[in-house]
Copies of this chain bind each other. A is one copy, B any other.
Amino acid sequence: MTKIGILGGTGALGAALAGRLAKAGHEICIGSRDPAKADRVAREIAAASGGSISGAGLIETAEGNELLFITVPYAAHADTLSQVRDAVQGKIVVDATVPLQLPKVGTVQLPAAGCAALEAANILGPGVRLVSALQNIGAEKLASGQAIDADVFVAGDDAAAVEVVQELLSQLAIRSWHVGPLANSAAAEALTSVLIQLNRRYKLVQAGVRITGERKDAPR
């Protein structure tokens, strides 16, 4: 059981993640700029999932938990990270942010730093164990509790932190891959706009990706 904070946990992805992690037995705190809203959403999710979920402000959530997810909209990304920077030093921070730019969310528009995860690294500094994950899983799918027919890319330079995150995801029945250094979060972030396009063009319900390819030692 890990004490997990979800900064931006009142949003669709954050709330879905909170419910799924609580069901898996973790103690969850939802962090929001609006602590009253965080508390209300926490109670709703706790009622639905039966797990241990509380709500608090951003800094309080960052201070009181061992591992933090960031599930804020891109417009609030830099500001949220700046607020919690001191409180998350030494901790594992899992950034799920996709740099979607309104109104063209279906067009890849990565930031000058390369991707949102590298922007986060610049803000948080080298003392934070930063991992990028969960850019390509729809909130509905995650909230449904059903099996997820899509893989998650996990990018990060801290191999032990990546392993912790992959273990958490496997507890949620999500297959994940370590896709390389934090810079490779660019692939997952860009893919989100592609999936938005595919949902529209091909009328798919929450498109995702699966990795294919046989293992070299597999029998032929």
Which residues of A are interface residues toward B (Cβ below 8 A)?
106-110, 112, 114-115, 149-150, 153, 177-181, 183-184, 186-187, 190-191, 193-195, 197-199, 201-217
Contact = CB atoms under 8 A, between A and B. Distances in A.
A180 B216 contact: no
B213 A153 contact: no
A44 B217 CA distance: 31
Contacts of A179: 194, 197-198
Given A114-B108, A209-B209, A209-B210, A202 B215 contact: yes
A107 B204 contact: no
Given A204-B214, A210-B212, 7 more contacts: A106-B180, A107-B181, A179-B197, A180-B194, A205-B215, A207-B212, A210-B210
A138 to B, nearest CB: 9
A107 B212 CA distance: 20
A206 B199 CA distance: 27
B204 A208 contact: no
A204 to B, nearest CB: 4
A197 B211 CA distance: 12
Contacts of A205: 213-216
Contacts of A201: 178, 180
Contacts of A183: 107-109
Contacts of A213: 149-150, 195, 198-199, 202, 204-208
Contacts of A197: 178-180, 184
Most B Cβ at <10 Å: residue of A187, A199, A202, A210: A187
B208 A211 contact: yes
A191 B179 CA distance: 9
Contacts of A194: 153, 179-180, 184, 187
Given A211-B198, A213-B199, A213-B205, A184 B114 contact: no
Nearest to A192: B187
